[in-house]
Amino acid sequence: MHPPGKYAHFDVIEETPEFIVVSKPAHLLIHPTRPGGHTTLFHGLQTLLGFELANGGQISIINRLDRETSGLVLVAKTSKEARRFAKAMMRREMSKGYQAIVFGWPEQDRFTVDGPILREGDVRDCPVYVKQCVHDDGKPCSTEFEVIERFTSPEPMGVGDFRTDRFALLACKPHTGRMHQIRVHLAHVGYPIIGDKIYGPSEQLYLEFIETGWTPQLQRSLVLDRHALHSASLSCDDGNHSWTAPLATDLCDWLRMHGAAFRPGHEGA
């Protein structure tokens, strides 16, 4: 394994003395999970910001993404800026926009899912500890969705009820920040994100992946080796800060290979 930090690849979107915004690829962890573990975004930032850290700076990651989610991450470089952004997040004064590729064609061009979320294991037996679900006892949360494109793949993919040749690219705007919120809400209304090992066709696929790693059988079931979710935009309500990141290359390639007309820069609202 490469030394942590040396080979953490990501794109810098904007950098100032107070903060840096980067776009991370899928499969790159945000934080280390154990000593000597996988290279993470944090390691890469330590390398990039070595001068600042040696002169009293810090690394405070403001918005965290799942390992498989690609896209924008905001990082404060000073304690003052970290507090400012953290307060803005708590007050819901920061807007986030995502893009997702899903199984099926949503009937409406625009729709909102209002569904409280909690950990599924709190209300029923669940073999995946981190899995969340929509439940009346959960914390309130809401997500807006807009269809960017519906398209038909040259041949059906997936398994069981999710075997289909119909797919859609969506713009997603969460109004709250619950764990796995977009993934849970899309699965709840019957349009799970392709590649989602927990909320896709079966949670057993996640357990299989943990046991065996990625296999041809998982490829047939999940269609993609990561959940197709991308952090595409981030902005502060004060109007002074706004950032965007083009859809990740692997997702663009998948769309082109499977019949979509989508091209980066034509994302819609």
pLDDT tens by residue, 14-23: 999 999 999 9
* Whether the predicted pLDDT of 214 surpasses 80: yes
* Whether the predicted pLDDT of 61 surpasses 80: yes
Tell me the residue type at 177. Answer: G
Residue 239 has a pLDDT of 72
- Helix segments in 49-119, DSSP class H: 50-54, 79-90
Where do the CATH 3.30.2350.10 domains begin and end in the chain?
Answer: 1-91, 95-269
Residue 74 has a pLDDT of 97
Would you state the structure tokens that stand for residue 47, as one six-digit string? 């390398």
Q: Which of 66, 109, 122, 238 is catalytic?
A: 66
Q: What is the pLDDT of residues 118-137, one digit of tens each?
A: 999 999 999 999 999 999 99
State the Cα–Cα distance between residues 83 and 100, nearest whole angstrom.
30
Is 66 a catalytic site residue? yes
* CA-wise closest residue to 28 among 16, 14, 11, 15: 11
Q: What is the pLDDT of residues 153-202, one digit of tens each?
A: 999 999 999 999 999 999 999 999 999 999 999 999 999 999 999 999 99
Q: Specify the pTM.
A: 0.92
* CA-wise closest residue to 42 among 58, 26, 55: 58
Residue 1 has a pLDDT of 34
Query: Strand, coil or helix: what is 178?
Result: coil
Residue 39 has a pLDDT of 84
In degrees rounded to 5, what are phi and psi of residue 236?
Answer: -100, 140
State the Cα–Cα distance between residues 256 and 247, nearest whole angstrom.
12
Is domain 1-91 given the CATH code 3.30.2350.10 in the classification? yes
Q: What is the DSSP letter of 133?
A: E
Task: Quickly state the pLDDT bin for 149 (edges 50, 70, 90).
Answer: very high
Helix (H) or strand (E) holding 158: none
Query: Strand, coil or helix: what is 142?
Result: strand
Residue 158: Cβ within 10 Å count: 21
Q: What angle do CA 222, 226, 230 make, to 5 degrees?
A: 125
Matching residue, tokens 């619950």: 178
Task: Quickly state the pLDDT bin for 36 (edges 50, 70, 90).
Answer: low
Average pLDDT over residues 58-81: 95
Is domain 95-269 given the CATH code 3.30.470.10 in the classification? no
Report the percentage of the chain scoring pLDDT > 90.
83
Residue 169 has a pLDDT of 98
Average pLDDT over residues 36-64: 90
State the Cα–Cα distance between residues 28 and 2, nearest whole angstrom.
14
Task: Quickly state the pLDDT bin for 3 (edges 50, 70, 90).
Answer: very low
